[in-house]
Amino acid sequence: MKRKIAIAADHAGYEYKEIVKNYLSERFEVQDFGTFSTDSVDYPDFVHPAATSVENGENELGILICGSGNGVQITANKHQKIRCALCWMPEIATLARQHNDANMISMPARFISKELAIEIADKFLSTEFEGGRHQNRVDKIAVC
């Protein structure tokens, strides 16, 4: 059974979303929450449903893409059970999984290459949480 992954983007991240989605669809079941064009949109309209799907277990992990990566990350992290890390290099994606048990990442389409976006997604999806000393820290993240 393929692992389920959520993906969403705004208009600035649309092209990267399509590339990453197509690349990952060979190995994962990718649920695309939009947007579906380069027309200007409000990213929370796509991020909230994607984050909810990870929060409730419908999808195991999620990938978000916008121009800077910041807006989608901030929005996703409003969800109590989401730990979304802004990743602009593969090593950050690896550490986000290993040390922070990140269940979503955001990527800045205006600042990374398409090839790097794929590499970041690969590292995120192939890295496991180390637990151990990191578990106690992760347990302290949620406020409620």
Residue 83 is assigned to a ligand binding site: no
Residue 100 is assigned to a ligand binding site: yes
Residue 10 is assigned to a ligand binding site: yes
Residue 3 is assigned to a ligand binding site: no
Q: Write down the catalytic residue from 48, 66, 79, 84.
A: 66
Residue 110 is assigned to a ligand binding site: yes
From the list 139, 133, 143, 124, the residue with the least C-alpha distance to 69 is: 124
Q: Indicate if 99 belongs to the active site.
A: yes
Q: Write down the catalytic residue from 79, 84, 99, 144.
A: 99
Which residues 6+ apart lie within 8 Å of 21 measured at CB?
7, 30, 32
Residue 137 is assigned to a ligand binding site: yes
Per the document, the length of the chain is 144
Q: How far is CA 74 from CA 61, 122, 131, in A?
A: 17, 22, 24
Q: Indicate if 66 belongs to the active site.
A: yes
Q: Assign residue 51 a region (left: φ > 0; alpha: ψ between -120 and 50; beta: otherwise).
A: alpha
Q: Which positions make up the binding site for D-ribulose 5-phosphate? A: 10-11, 67-71, 100, 110, 133, 137
Binding residues: 10-11, 67-71, 100, 110, 133, 137
Q: Which amino acids are annotated catalytic?
A: 66, 99
